[in-house]
Amino acid sequence: MEDKRENFGSKIGAILAAAGSAVGLGNIWRFPIVTGQNGGAAFIIIYIVCILLLGLPIMISEFLIGRHTHANTAGAYRILSNDGVWKWVGRLGVFTGWLILCYYGVVGGWTLHYSFLSATSAFNGVEASEFGDIFESFSSNPWMPTLWLVLFISITHIVITRGVQSGIEKFSKVMMPVLFIITAILVVCSVSLPGASAGIEYLLVPDWSKVTSGTVLSAMGQAFFSLSLGMGCLCTYASYFDGGTKLAKTAVNVSIIDTIVAVMAGFIIFPSVFNIGMNPNEVGAGASLIFISLPNVFQQAFTGLPFLSWIFSLLFYFLLFIAALTSAISLHEVATAFVVEEYHTPRRKAAVVVTSVCLVLGVLCSLSFGPLSGIQIFGRNIFSAFDDFSGMILLPIGGMLISIFSGWILDKQLYKEELSNQGDLKTPYFRMLVFALRYIAPVAIGIVFLDMMGLFEFLK
């Protein structure tokens, strides 16, 4: 029996769910560092241009494809392509999302573990040099990260089984405001630390001398990952939008929320890094920034004020956890909706299938920091292979195909009708949008892709 198809119950619920997908680990552990390394505000400006030229057109298209068909991503492209070859774009999206969820869940588990360590004051009195070992011995342990991964995916699973309105929407409506409040509290604490102004300057004064072609490419890649584009997450969520949802406006709102949270994350991280006199080039990136440098920064920034260290670090890891969770839910939903609709499976059963596959592959990713570290795929452990393969290859290919499909293949009349809610809304930007989808996005993504594959290095 196929479950009856639900919609989001409110516009704000739809926006918060999509924003929950977009705001994730990418905003907090990647954006601030990439911004710092690429000239602060100079990078932010380039990033915003990428969102305008590339992110928004593709997001609007993904929304449109989902809402028009009211089907899961694979079904949506199958319907719109009349079962032709373009149906593979949707299937590719489902595959990509499923893959991302496996390694994303591992990091989600780490954020839970670090929330727990912060809550139990485990970092109290730990020396700066010891944080590396703490993370190392945790992530390489065969059991602990696996248990946290199982817990993280189980929470995702429970939200998904409750359905679109009582699960995803309700959860986003509670968690997204919590996320904004925590982010705001942390920003205020961090920027009021002594010496914080150097950190603010580091982010806000544009340093155009650091801008290279690599900067533009990083900005594009970041915009893509951060806005959850290229794999059908937003298409799936939009299949639960009702006919009155304004697609372009929703896309603008989601992009603004995502960018604001990313910039705020910079204001949490750098003022405290400068406060303890650390060089921003020394803090590392990704996991080493978040799980090795920052616990130390939070301890030292509030020396003599143990309560503040405790609450700051607890709130920070809890923030990461919520951000990761709402993104993981959106990834899970892509695969669950696919199994429900394409294999006529009840939602609960479909969610069990998705969760089980994720757990098996996720455990392999998790163990690749310990017992399975010997298994190498193209010189990477399993975790990094999943991460790089999905982020560097599948997402750009997906994004490029989506822009080509919506710019060249999809009927323009249909596009315009859907975009204007059957003529209710004015769409003066329609031609520009089509131009961006036809020419700008495919060419830009193609360049990023070739660069990532090392072609330009090779030519040099």
- Chain contacts with ligand PHE (rule: CB under 6 A): 21-22, 24-27, 100, 225-226, 228, 231, 233, 327, 330-331
Pick between residue 64 and residue 193 the one whose CB is nearest to ligand PHE: 64
Separate counts of helices (H) and strands (E) for the chain: 24, 0
Nearer to ligand PHE, 243 or 286 (CB): 286
Closer of 42 and 325 to ligand PHE (Cβ): 325
Rounded least distance, CB 138 to ligand PHE, Å: 22
Instruction: Give the nearest distance from C-beta 226 to ligand PHE in angstroms.
Output: 4
Nearest approach in angstroms of CB 184 to ligand PHE is 19
CA 285 to chain CA mean position, Å: 16
Give whichever of 398 and 407 is closer to ligand PHE, judged by the CB atom. 398
**Shortest distance, position 323 Cβ to ligand PHE, whole Å:** 7
To ligand PHE, the closest distance from the beta carbon of 100 in angstroms equals 6
Q: Which two tokens stand for residue 372?
A: 């399975």
CB 350 within 8 A of CB 7: no
Q: Answer yes or no: are the C-beta atoms of 55 and 255 closer than 8 Å.
A: yes
- Judged by beta carbon, residue 23 or residue 351, the one nearer ligand PHE is 23
In sequence order, what are the residues at sequence separation of 6 or more whose Cβ sits closer than 8 angstroms to the Cβ of residue 321? 108, 111, 112, 115
Q: Which is nearer to ligand PHE, 134 or 294 (CB)?
A: 294
Whose structure tokens read 């290859």? 393
Least distance from C-beta 28 to ligand PHE, angstroms?
8
For ligand PHE, the closer CB: 193 or 358: 358
Helix (H, G, I), strand (E, B) or coil at 380: strand
CB of 113 to ligand PHE, least distance (A): 18
Ranges of H-type helices in 276-406: 286-288, 294-301, 306-342, 347-367, 382-388, 395-404
Closest C-alpha among 187, 219, 222, 174 to residue 325? 174
* Residue 122 contacts residue 165 (beta carbons within 8 Å): no
Picking from 75, 236, 92, 93, the residue whose alpha carbon sits closest to that of residue 164 is 236
Q: Are 321 and 108 in contact (CB under 8 A)?
A: yes
Comparing CB distances to ligand PHE, the nearer of 62 and 451 is: 62
Instruction: Please identify, using beta-carbon distances, which residue of 26 and 109 lies nearer to ligand PHE.
Output: 26
Q: How far is the CB of 381 from ligand PHE (least distance, A)?
A: 20
Query: Is residue 148 within 8 Å of 106, Cβ to Cβ?
Result: no
Is residue 161 within 8 Å of residue 339, measured between CB atoms? no
Which residue of the chain is nearest ligand PHE when measured via CB?
Answer: 24
Task: Specify burial of residue 304 (Cβ count, 10 A radius: 0-12, 13-18, 19+).
Answer: exposed
Handedness of CA 156, 161, 163, 166 (dihedral sign): negative
Hey, what amino acid is at 390? S
Beta bridge partners of 377: 380
Nearest approach, Cβ of residue 106 and ligand PHE (Å): 14
